[in-house]
Amino acid sequence: MKQALIEFLGKVMTEDRRETMINIINDRTRYLTVVLEDIFQTQNASAVLRSCDCFGVQDVHIIENRNSFNINPKVVVGTTKWLDIYRYKEQENNTRKALKDLKKQGYRIVATSPHHNDINLEEYDLNLGKTALVFGTELTGISDIVKEEADDFLKIPMHGFAESLNISVAAAISLHHLTYKLRQSNINWQLAPEERDDLYIDWMKKSIKKSDLLIQEFEERYTNQK
């Protein structure tokens, strides 16, 4: 049924649009994901989301403990609709909940913060498994809970007077380097066929005006053909 729906919706899209979506989906990954903990500056949060889209990272996990997560539309320029964003804000301890969920999905929790056992970005081994990069709040960085749950600590080597980078810059540098390494590796980093189909259908719905009416028409036809 999914393939039939894709074919049906594809008839109202240009060939160039369909090819663009397929090419981007083929470059999408969930092997690497991003976690933002209590980011309060909208431009920083939005810039990280834009970087995730640019480098092909499909999922972003937003932890809201003290600070609500707000998006600056001038920064994201529409990229958020192509991402899957998961928000954690209902629990007393949203950080613990988010990290536990990610671990259940097989992710290693990698805290982006200097630590006594930290690893330089260039030396991080993606073969260790699926990686969730955690970026902490602008003022204090990652929380103690992240430090407790982290499997690894990652740092970007610096050679100036500044001791840290802006979070959006740190995220962009990390994502560029790690996604480049991922695509040069033998790791099976791409989405599974079913995930690709689901994402393609979702993007088609978002790209077609009144797609809900078209899908209703498709479902009626599909039911009548049975």
Strand order, beta sheet including 59-63: 84-88, 59-63, 32-37, 131-135, 108-112, 152-155, 119-120
- The pLDDT value recorded for residue 76 is 67
Domain residue limits, the chain: 1-28+194-226, 29-189
Residue among 192, 207, 226, 201 nearest 5 (CA): 201
Q: What is the pLDDT of residue 44?
A: 85
What pLDDT sits at residue 137? 84
Phi, psi of 71 (to 5 degrees): -105, 135
pLDDT of residue 224: 67
Surface-to-core class of residue 11, CB atoms within 10 Å of its CB (0-12 exposed, 13-18 middle, 19+ buried):
exposed
- Local mean pLDDT, 10-residue blocks, the chain (226 residues): 87 93 97 92 87 96 86 74 92 90 97 82 95 89 91 91 86 97 97 96 91 84 69
User: Model-level pTM greater than 0.85?
Assistant: yes
What's the token pair of residue 124? 């991080």
CATH number of the 29-189 domain: 3.40.1280.10
Tokens (6 digits) for 202: 């979702």
> Cβ distance 162 to 37 under 8 Å?
no
Give the count of beta carbons closer than 10 Å to the beta carbon of residue 6. Answer: 14
